[in-house]
Structure 1
Amino acid sequence: MIERLVPAYVASADTYDVDAPAGTLYPEEEQLIAASVDRRRHEFAAVRACARRAMATLGLPPAPVLRGVRGMPLWPAGTVGSMTHCDGYRAAVLARDTEVRGMGIDAEPNAPLPPGVWEVISLPSERARISVDVKDPAVHWGRLLFSAKESVFKTWYPLTLIELDFSEADITFHGDPDTATEGTFTAELLRTAPGMPTSYAGKWLVEDGFAVTSIVLSADAPVCRGDV
């Protein structure tokens, strides 16, 4: 599924299997989850198995994917990547840093948000454009909005190491809200950082019970010269 949301030069891998094959973690990775419950261990291992499949697609040897600040994945030198996992789905994408500057992917269950979350994650402008009060919708737009903002943050944070709040990205979905189950979106950032774009183009897809989003920031994307 994730391959439909990234360009051909981006390697991708996903799985609906909640478990990874035994012995797929490096010792350094095992240390990161030594105290974790089984569910966390399974998703951690399965998404890293996806990451190594993406490495192989790029012709790279398998390597551990460790964690940096705020859990940011640490990718092999010369590459840019992103990972996501939710109940029943794991995915990873990877590209050469000569082609991609930043990437973010996110998968969520295509289900209503928990009570109170919509008001926290959405801006007045987004609430004016998106109706979440649709009976039996094919797309749960509140959940898709959450996913899109997660993809924005996963693109932004590794490049800036600056926290980005839900209120600092304004998302516009493109596509017929009554019939579409895939399309594009635009994210306008309401803050700036030197060398970072203020507008991001993304893709979204709702299928098999999941809402999935992606942003791929090309190496030659226009940037903002302002201050943080």
Structure 2
Amino acid sequence: MAAVLPEDISIAHHHGTDPHATLFPEEEPFVARAVAKRRAEYTTVRACARRALAALGRPPVPLLPGERGAPRWPAGIVGSMTHCPGYSAAAVAPAQRWRSLGIDAEENAPLPPGVLDMIALPADREALATLPPGGPSWDRVLFSAKESVYKAWFPLARRFLDFSEAELVLSEDGTFAARVLVPGPVRELGGRWAVGDGLVVTAVTVRA
């Protein structure tokens, strides 16, 4: 994850689930009926977020889901969390330096059949067709990049952004550009992608 984020953003991650991670009492109701796997991921990613906050000198606090499940960060902080099977990560930064950020992690494997049809616009497909074979699973990179775009855009716009409402162009150099197709506070977004340890990770940052 450090490969896709600026150095002044605090990052914490964990491979697998953390058996020592615990929840605040305020967080417990949100996973009271969750299966063990979901609870472990929810707990681990919040432990990552609290470690990332601690690196900024912030005390541990409950991190509760807000509108559309987006985490509610402490005042003066922007951040993002992600988890996929076997990996969790969180990134946080001071709001006076960054307006918003979004991160995502996925397994580096082709999307299941039919998913690309659901998330890719014709322009996305044309851009994918120009990328060389033998690299990462480009369709998965696209999916992850769109997730990061949404996570960075939502706190600014306060509205849902569908996969069909942003066009992306991936570049071989580990960057991507996104154009949001609906009105909002930000229409052009840039991000980075990387692969390693069987994962695809992406990030979008918006400077203050």
- Sort the TM-score into its range (normalised by shorter chain): over 0.9
Give per-residue Cα distances to partners, 1:101-129, cap 9 Å, x unaligned. Answer: 01100001111111111111111111112
Equivalent residues of 1:172, 1:187 under 8 A apart: yes
Change beyond 3 A, Cα 1:107–1:200 = same
**CA apart distance, 1:132:** 9.8
Structure 1 segment 108-127 matched on structure 2, within 5 A: 108-127=106-125
The equivalent of 2:157 in structure 1 is: 160
Give per-residue Cα distances to partners, 1:152-206, cap 9 Å, x unaligned. Answer: 000111222211111111111122xxxxxx611000111121xx12100100001
Unaligned ranges ≥5, structure 2: none
Q: One-letter code of the match for 2:25?
A: P
Structure 1 segment 48-127 matched on structure 2, within 5 A: 48-127=46-125
Q: Which residue among 180, 190, 196 is the counterpart of 1:189?
A: 180
Report the number of matched residues: 208
**CA apart distance, 1:134:** 7.7
Distance 2:99 2:146 in 1: 18
**Runs of at least 4 residues of structure 1 off by over 6 A?**
132-135
SS at match of 1:148: helix
Structure 1 segment 133-212 matched on structure 2, within 5 A: 137-175=134-172, 183-193=174-184, 196-212=185-201
With normalisation by structure 2, the TM-score equals 0.95
Distance 2:19 2:153 in 1: 29
SS at match of 1:84: strand
Equivalent residues of 1:18, 1:87 under 8 A apart: no
Q: One-letter code of the match for 2:180?
A: L
SS at match of 1:66: coil
The equivalent of 1:131 in structure 2 is: 129
Distance 2:179 2:131 in 1: 24
**CA apart distance, 1:59:** 0.7
Considering Cα pairs closer than 8 Å and 6+ residues apart, tell me whether 1 or 2 has the greater RCO: 2
1:216 aligns with 2:185: no
1:16 aligns with 2:15: yes
The two structures, once aligned, show a CA RMSD in angstroms of: 1.6
**CA apart distance, 1:5:** 1.3
Equivalent residues of 2:16, 2:85 under 8 A apart: no
**CA apart distance, 1:17:** 2.5
SS at match of 1:36: coil
